[in-house]
Structures are given as C-alpha cells and as structure tokens.
Structure 1
C-alpha cells in the first residue's frame, strides 16, 4: 500500500471515528440549549408579573388616596375653586337711562399653603397687624392643618394687599377675584339684591340673572374674565333715590317700624322705583341681617285696610248692579256672627256711592259686597290679581293669604280690607288696572313697551268702570282723606287705608298699618304710587291715620319725581293757566 493510500485510509478512519464520538456530545448540547430557553421564558414571566403587580400597587395607592380625599371634609382638602371660576364675570346692571347700578371690580383674596408655613403663631400675629379683626384661633387652626391650601380672607383692598406683601410671610399668597360693587349702596337694595362671596346672585335681580343661565355658564367657565352685555332695568335711579329718601324720612319722622313705596307705569307695568326700609347695603349684605333683607313691598303680606274699598266699589260698578247714582243706608252698624261693623267717622245716614268712598264707610262698602255675593266677590278679587301670587322677575314675591272657606262675615270684612293679606306691590298693580282703562298688566323690572304690555294684558274691568274709578279717586283727593297727597298742578287722586295691625293673631287697636294708593295725573293717569307705613306713632297734624302720614309721603314722592318723569303740571280749571311770578 502506497504512502498516499495509507494516508487516505487513516483519514477515512479518523472521520468515522469523529462522527461516532460526536453524536453523544451533540445530544447534550441540545438538552443544555432547551434548559436555557425555559429559564429565560420563566424569568420573562416573572418580570411581567412584577411589572403588573407594580402598576396594580400604584393604581391601588392612587385609588385609596382618591377615596380618602372624597371622604375628607372639603376644607381639609382644598378651599379653592378653579381660577376661571374665581374670575367669572357678571354683567353690569344699568337703570333705564344707562346709569350703573351694579358692576364688577377686580380684587384679590389672601390664601395660605400650610405646609410652607414656618411659624404659625408668628404668621397670625403679623397678619393681625394689617387685619385686626382677624379670628386668630381660626387662622391658627388653618395654618396648622394638613391641607395644601386655605383661604384666610376674601376680597382685600389694594392697601391691605400691599401691607401684607410687606410682611414677607412665607406660604402666604394672593389670588385674583371679581367683586360686585353697587355705587348707590342701599338705594335700590331690594331690587338689585346681592351676590355671595363667590360672586353668585343670591337675591333680587342678581339672582334672577343667574337663574336665566348665567350661573350655568359660569360653572363651565364660559364667563371667565369675559365682558358681558349689560342688563338694563326699568328702574329710574333718580326716582328710586327720591322714593328711598322719602320713606326713610317717613319712618323716622313718624316713628314707625317700617315703610315702603312703589312708582309704577300704569300702561306698561314697568316698576320705575320701589323701596322698603329698613334695608341694607348690598356691598355689605351681612350687616343687614334679617330685618334689613326683608323686602316688604313684594315679600311681605299685609291687610291693606280701606284701600280695598277701591276694589269693592269697582266690583259693584263693573257688575252693573251699582252705579255712581246709587245710595246705601249707613245709618246703623251691621251685626253679624257676633261682630259689629261700624264706621270710623260715621255719618249715620244714607250715603251715595261717591260718599261711601269719600267718607270711607265700612257699612256702605259691606252692603255693596253683600249685593254682589260671595262667589262674585271672590271671583273679582281673583280676576284682578289680588288672590294669586304676583308674576314678575323678582324672586322675592310672597303669595297672598285668604280664608280657607269664604263665609258672609269674611266677604263683609274683606270688602273694607280685613281678612285678606296681599303685598303692597300687588295692591298697586291691581290699582293700576282700575285707572288705565281696565287692563291688568303683570309688573316688570325690565324695560317694556306699551305694545309688549298690551300682548300680556288682560281686561279685568270695563272702560266705563275705569272712568268711574278715576272720578272717585279724584273726588277723594279733593274732598276726602287724600287731601294731604295733593300736589299743585299734578292732579293727584287716591285712597287711604288705615288698618288695625295684626299682632300675634289679634288686632291691636293702638297700632296701625297705613297705606295710600294714588294715581297721577288722575285725568289721564300715567303712574301709580303706593306708600305704606307700619305702626307709626304720629303724623302730620298729630294724627296717626293714613291721611296723616302715608298720604304726605305720596305727596313728597310725586312733587319731587313728576318733573323727572316728564309729567307737565297743569294749572287752572282747564289746565291752560300759566304759573306767573311777579
């Protein structure tokens, strides 16, 4: 065998030998590889499980904290609203001539971040040097709380902000806000109402504006720092100021506990002015307390006394069963159900209808009501709006009260103003219907044209009835209890109402609730004026009846406001005489 052949044989053996020896080794490698792969997959699963567990733990912690915040008291979590909520704007409120009655001003409020406060005691002491009325204990508790935010004082003045900044207290800051400002102060408080600390309307027309959608827009940030269209009212701030001044003086001069008045356009239902005292300053509503917040003109009900005789006689005339030429026997008192109905200044004779009105005869008025009957009496007062809640924009409107069951004694006493309680504003609105041609027009505190008013008006009495009532009101102004309401040149007609005041469910003979219902110029009425004074102790001439105090208040309001309302005076029998000074 050649050398080359031997080499080939050896290589061939070596090859087969290597191949045989490699099979076991190759099997071992495969097993090792499979084990490594299984270990890697196991480690990957463990890592995924750890990641899932970690995320689950994080979300559990977040969920737990949310539950904790949800169960905690609001002040321990956060006392601050959204910035856009704090800066939400309100529209300016203007009078009918464009004068500003309410507007927003920018201000700041003081807050603290308790976790940044170094020394709560020192911080309270230093803040008290600028805000001396600060409640030290309350502020200290806030600064030591676990919350991240606490209000300390809302709506600071620029001077207060500057002085607090100079103190350099860490953890103290300021947030911008809007504050409502009423330039006239208490002048139209019960009409405008006021807002709360968050600039949300809580009374009067401020509340009405919010109820028309402003509050919803503010809640979603749509009014954030926005310039809104102003809201114009029917109020004439010049007349409003006169009315408020007159009733405030009347309450003081006649030593009464309250007074009020309204001036109403008889053709549109617009309220030109309305006030009630005691009142309050809407810039500082908390100082008004309950006594000042009470709007007695629309949210207080009273027995309006003899002013109701106006409606009773109008009812008789409108029914066709009574005319101005008719007479009723007022010689003797009426005795019914254990009660005696008599006249305050009885003439003890037969009285004509104009005399019944002029002398304010309870007996004559009661006989007119008895002639109409209980169903007709109740229907007429309902028709003229005296037994149902007054529809208007002002939220503070109280419903009248009446007997659950009308008996004959109820009809008789209601005829002269006892037994039904209505609001003074409601009485004025019903009175306007008797002088404007017979149309009952819902009152409004927003501008309204005569055309718009006509669409809302409902005919409640005949035009002839309205003409007769204008005559009676004029006659009573000249020859009856309305003499002290006369204003030269302006032809005032009206009716007094002196009612015994109800105290603890009983009539007090020594306390009166007095009112005067008037229209001017009575030959062609444009405005209705109603005044009331509660429990006066005196009046002009020393008396305390409506003719001595409620009537003079009407006189003062008309004499000062008529020229502003564009009513031209007329002198002489035909109104053509001129006032000449020599």
Structure 2
C-alpha cells in the first residue's frame, strides 16, 4: 500500500508561491486518509457480519433438519459405545424333521438403570415395585439413592412391562435390546430341547447359551456365524411327539404312576421320532435342579436317557436270541423249567408253575425266569456278557444330548453264576429305556447294531452285525407270540402286528434290598413284526391299577395298555398304514433239543425228534 504524504513538497512550495496556507494542504490529506481508513473498516465489518449470518443460517438449518428427522423416526434409547469383543447373539433355529419350529429367537428388551441420571429415584423405585411385584422396594430405593452407577433391573421385559416403565418417565431407566430364546410349543419335547440362558451380557446385546439337552450339545453349532443361520433339524416329529405326550400323561394318571417315559425309534436309521419323559417342564422358564433328595423327583430329570432301571423280563429275549444265533437251541427246544432252581445259596423261581419243561418260545411267551436262566447257563458268563456289551448295554448311549453321559448303565463289577442268572431276566443290571429301545432295534434290524440319534438325515456308518438275520427273525417271531398268546395280549392293535415283551421289576431301596410294593413296569415292542420299522418302549415308574377287586402293578396291566393306545395314535401319524393278514416269516422247525442238568450240576443238550 502506497501512503500519500500529509505535506507533499511540490504542493507546499506551490502554495507558498501563491501566498496560501500550507497547513490547509495537510488538513485536507489527513481528512482523506481518515475517510479511506473508515471505508476499509466498514467493509471488513460488513464482511464479518455476512460470515456470521451464514454460520447462523447453517447452524439453525442443521438443528431444524435434525429435529425433523428425529420427529419422523422411531424412538430409541441411547446406548453407550463400549470397546471389547462383540457379543454374538444370533442363534440358529431348531426344527423337527418336517421343518416345524421347535426353538427360535424373539427380540425383546432388558431394563437397566443409571441411578446418577435419575431425577426422582424414590418415585422410580416405587413405580418399578408396582410393575414388578417380585422386586424389593426398599432395596431399589437404597440402590437408586446410593453410589451405584449401573444396575440391572430385569433381563427380559414383555411389551406391556416395557410400556409401563416408559410411563414412569424416568430418564435414568434405560432399555437394552435382547434376543431371547423362545420355545413356542411350551412343554412339548422339553427334555429333548433342554433350554437356554444368557451368557456374556452388555447393554446393547446378550449372548444366548444352551444349558441342557440339544441346546447345550449343539451350542457351538447353533452359534456358528459360518452356518448363516441354517436351522438344526432334529429327527423328532412334532405331531407324533405331541400325541405321545398326551397318551403318556393320560396313562400315567390312570395307572397312578409316579413318572413315565416312552421312546419311539426308527429301526433302520436309529432316528428318534418321539421321546417323552414325565413330569416335564416349560423350557421358556426352566426350573432349578434339586439339590437334595431323589433326582428323579425333579421335572428336569430325563427318565428316558438318565433313568437307570432294572428293566425286568424285557431282558429275557437277549439270552434266548443269542442262543438262537449260536444254534445252541431252536424255537422248539425243550427247556427245563422245574421251579425253584438252586444257584449256590440262592433260589430262583417262576411267578407261576410251568411244569418240568417249556419250549424256548414258551419260555419267552410265559416269561419263565427259570427257563431263561437255563438258557443263560448254556451260553456261559463270558458269552452272555459279551453279547450284552455288543448291544450297547454297558456304555452310555451316544445320543446328542448333554445328559447322555449321566445315563451310564449300572453294570455288575463281578459276574458270578447268580449275577449271570439274575441279569438274564433283567435284575442286577440297570439301564435306561433308551438303551432298551436301541437293543430291541438291533434285533429288529436283522441283527445289525442300531445307534440312536436325534439328528435327521445325517449319514451314518452301518452298524456291526451283532447276530444273524435268521436268529433275529426268530426272536421277533417269539416276541410276536407274547402279544398273541402271552403276557402282552392287551398290546394287540389290529393291523399293526405288534411284537414285544413285558417286564415288571421291583424297585431297589436306596439303602439296599427291594420295595415290596413298588415296581418299574416296562413294555418293549416292535411293529410291524413281519417287517419291523419302529421300536416303542413304554416305562411306568411305580404304577398301580385296580383290577378284579384288587391291585395290579404288572407291566401287562399297566404299561401294555398305554403302549397299545400309543401305537393306535402314533402309527398313522408316521405314515404306517394298518395291514391285514399275518405276514410273519415262516420259521422252519428244526430238530427239537431238550436241555437238562448234566453231571456235577452242569447242563447238557439232549436231542430228540
């Protein structure tokens, strides 16, 4: 900027020559300079005002736009940003074999508090106590007026409860989104599903973890993001499961039983179509386990998997089937049934006297303890034990449930002669009803080992051949005759060719010995006998039913009628149409053999025509 002098020399000299006052020139230049300075200051002030006006317009415009956006959006609670590992809350659905939902997810909210942000903590505590009667009003007041900065109030809220908390109008009460596990069918298949609960939690999400059943067994699978939410498809049929539970609950009530369980198993695949245990529970509100007393008194106890019962005469088919497989006997072989029989200091007798001899088939049909022991003695302890082990009766079932390892059978550590005898007719070895179902399925599957599973459509290796197909068919034929003319006549359902065996076992006392008036009644069945497709096992704990002016606890009077009604309901639901006519394979009679005591108390086979 070029500055003009206040007293330019040329003009001063010129003014002096003309006799003018040189100071006027300086005053003129000074006035012009001041005017230029004022003009510059005014322009700068005007520029600043324009900039400030623009800033105000932008600021108020931004606030106005934001207010409009908030007015048009859904109200949400602010959440604080936290650092750390993200919580994986998404969990895959569980469905039945037809894709129907058994377990899914539901969006809900949790309620938490920031006491230091509260305007009226006493009013907030009183309002929450009215909405949630289970909360302690005094404790809430103490927490809200104390030094706590964060407090969980409820982990899950219903929409009605959430609205009621909103109406309190307290800014210190906040909501956190939650994905909770929902079991839309309530009690149905509760022991199979198990239940779930919250693991790691934050105000923005919570981790859902399985706590029992398949929810726990497949916890990692259900939470795996790589599976993109693909559902876990179980083998059970929801309709069949509901029918089974209805019939079982009704039968348990009619038979005055303490508990009941049932298993329906596909013979060829080992897939469990339905499995129930009563009493049961609602997995949406899973009860706490019992800390004292008998575990089976708890509704979360799974009798089908965890129950260890002496299953009585249902075991009798095992030594007979093994003897048929080894060709030590045939269905018509005469078996010495003279009762009682002596083993050391112990006597074994039959419920009824069957005379000196029964055929091997009639040993099963009439359920002779003595005849079964005679056959087991032909086998010998080692072979008997190996066969039971091959049937899977010594180890927990590999079913996909976290409870499976707890269902390990109670197997005798020693096998003297008397133990081998009692095990042959179902005493001295305790196993679960699921073990029994798998063993019967192995016989029904032409002797190929069947492993139970709860997963539908999974490729599985073929089971080992435990016994010959011919011997397996003979065993099924014997079981069929138990229904047509034996202890399970009430199990006959026209068109379904039911084959099975009853078992009534005295319940052991906790301190040793057996109860005089408490039993476990079981009926293990296969149908249709001519081409086995399903195995059904029904077990009642401490049943008792009035009969002929007295009281009966036998499986034939308690478990069998329940199983028959179950077949009537379940068979059509699984697509099994009734057939007419007897399609059982014809077993050619072999040369009859009679079993008699041998020298020195041993046994020998005596052939006869």
Query: Given the two structures, how large is their TM-score scaled by the length of structure 1?
Result: 0.80
Structure 2 CA distance for partners of 1:82 and 1:567, relative to 1, 3 Å: farther
Alignment size in residue pairs: 485
Partner SS state of residue 200, structure 1 = strand
Q: Is 1:338 equivalent to 2:345 in the alignment? A: yes
Out of 548, 555, 558, which is 2:567 matched to? 558
Matched, 1:459 2:472: no
Is 1:428 matched up with 2:437?
Answer: yes
Q: Which residue of 1 aligns with 2:515?
A: 508
User: 1:301 aligned to 2:302?
Assistant: no
* Pair 488,138 (structure 1): closer, same or farther in 2 beyond 3 Å: farther
Give runs of aligned pairs for residues 384-423 of structure 1, distance below 5 A.
Answer: 384-397=391-404, 398-423=407-432
Aligned-pair CA distance for 1:401 = 1.0
Alpha-carbon distance in 2 for matches of 1:565, 1:522 = 17
* Contact kept? 2:276, 2:304, Cα under 8 Å: yes
**Residue correspondence of structure 1 range 540-579 to structure 2 within 5 A:** 543-573=552-582
Residues 1:204 and 2:213 are matched in the alignment: yes
Partner of 2:36: none
The structure that is helix-richer by fraction is 1
Where 1:427 maps in the other structure, the secondary structure is helix
C-alpha contact 1:514 1:533 (8 A) present in aligned 2:
yes
Q: Gaps spanning 5+ residues in structure 1: where?
A: 1-77, 576-582
1:135-189 superposed Cα distances (whole Å, 9 cap, x missing partner): 3344345435544322101110001000110011231110000111111111100
Q: Do residues 495 (structure 1) and 501 (structure 2) align? A: yes
Distance (Å, rounded) in 2 between the aligned partners of 1:498 and 1:145: 64
Question: How far apart are 1:482 and its partner, in Å?
Answer: 1.4
Distance 1:428 1:390 in 2: 11
Q: Deviations over 1:76-113 (max 9, x none)?
A: xx9x998952x711111111111111110000011011
Please identify, of 554-563 and 566-575, the stretch whose mean Cα deviation from structure 2 is larger.
566-575
Q: Are 1:482 and 2:483 matched, yes or no?
A: no
Q: Distance in 2 between matches of 1:335 and 1:473?
A: 28
Instruction: Kindly provide the CA deviation profile for residues 482-516 of structure 1, in whole angstroms up to 9, marking residues without a partner as x.
Output: 11111111111100000001121221121110100
For residues 255-302 of structure 1, what are the alpha-carbon distances to aligned partners after superposition, in whole Å with 9 as ceiling and x for unaligned?
Answer: 111000010000000000000001100011127866111001011111
For 1:203 and 1:231, locate their aligned partners in 2 and report how far apart those are by CA, in whole Å. 16
Note closer, same or farther for the CA distance 1:102–1:82 as it changes in structure 2 (3 Å cut). farther
In 2 relative to 1, CA 84–352 (structure 1 residues): closer, same or farther, beyond 3 Å? same
Matched residue SS, 1:104: strand
Compute the displacement of 1:537 (Å): 1.9
Q: CA deviation at 1:548?
A: 0.9
In structure 2, relative to structure 1, the CA distance for the partners of 1:170 and 1:439 (3 Å cut) is same
Q: Distance in 1 between matches of 2:314 and 2:428?
A: 13
Deviation at 1:382, TM superposition (A): 0.5
Distance in structure 1 (CA, Å) of the matches to 2:450 and 2:581? 33
The verdict on how the C-alpha distance between 1:140 and 1:365 changes in structure 2, with shifts beyond 3 A counting, is farther
Q: How does 1:270-349 map to 2 (within 5 A)?
A: 270-286=271-287, 291-349=298-356
Q: Deviations over 1:105-129 (max 9, x none)?
A: 0000110112223454432211112
Q: Give the corresponding residue for 1:38.
A: none
Per-residue displacement from partner, 1:451-475 (whole Å, max 9, x unpaired)?
Answer: x34x241111111111101100111
> Within 2, Cα distance between the matches of 1:421 and 1:369?
18
Is residue 366 of structure 2 the alignment partner of residue 365 of structure 1? no
**Root-mean-square deviation (CA), in Å?**
2.2
Compute the TM-score of the two structures, normalised by the length of structure 2: 0.76
Measured in 2, the distance between the counterparts of 1:123 and 1:81 equals 30
Q: Which runs of 5+ in 2 are unaligned?
A: 1-79, 200-207, 585-609
Give me the whole-angstrom Cα distance separating, in 1, the residues matched to 2:299 and 2:325: 41
Conserved? CA contact 2:287–2:300, under 8 Å = no
Distance 2:319 2:101 in 1: 42
Does structure 2 conserve the Cα–Cα contact (< 8 Å) formed by 1:106 and 1:178?
Answer: yes
Residue aligning to 2:181: 180
- Is contact 1:424-1:530 (8 Å) kept? yes
Residue aligned with 2:287, SS: helix
Cα distance in 2, alignment partners of residues 486 and 413 from structure 1: 29
Which residue number corresponds to residue 126 of structure 2?
125
Does the CA contact (< 8 Å) of 1:309 and 1:417 recur in 2?
yes
Distance 1:185 1:117, change over 3 A: same
